[in-house]
Amino acid sequence: MDFLANCPQYIANGLANGCIYILVAMGFNIIFNSTGIINFAQGEFCMFGGLFAYTLAASAGLPLPLAVVLALAITAAIGGLMERLLVYPLRRAGVLVAIIATIGASIFFKSLGRILWPKEAYKVPEFTPGNISLPGATISRQFLWVFGLTIVSVAAVYLFFNHTRSGKAMRACSVNRLAASLVGINVMRMSLYSFLLAAALGGLAGLINAPYASYSIGLFLGVKGFTAAAVGGLGNTFGAVAGGVVLGLLEELIPGFLTVVLGVSTGYKDAVAAILLIAVLLFRPQGILGRGVVEKV
Q: What is the pLDDT of residues 12-54, one digit of tens each?
A: 999 999 999 999 999 999 999 888 889 999 999 999 999 999 9
Residue 293 has what pLDDT?
A: 56
pLDDT above 70 for 261: yes
Which pLDDT tens digit goes with each residue over 119-135? 888 888 888 888 888 88
Quote the Cα angle for 222-105-115, to 5°. 90
Distance, in Å, from the CA atom of 248 to the CA atom of 52, rounded to the nearest integer, reads 26
Residues 203-247 have pLDDT tens digits of 999 988 867 788 888 888 999 999 999 998 887 888 899 999 999
* Whole-number Å distance between alpha carbons of 37 and 87: 9
What is the number of other CB atoms lying within 10 angstroms of the CB of residue 7?
Answer: 17
Q: Is the pLDDT higher at 281 or at 78?
A: 78
For 141-182, write each residue's pLDDT tens digit.
Answer: 888 999 999 999 999 998 988 888 888 888 888 777 778 888
What pLDDT does 126 receive? Answer: 81
pLDDT of residue 23: 94
CA distance 269 to 117: 27
pLDDT in the model for residue 42: 93
Q: Considering the chain, what percentage of its residues have pLDDT values greater than 90?
A: 46
> What pLDDT score was predicted for residue 234?
84
Residue 295 confidence (pLDDT) above 70: no
Residue 267 has pLDDT above 80, yes or no: no
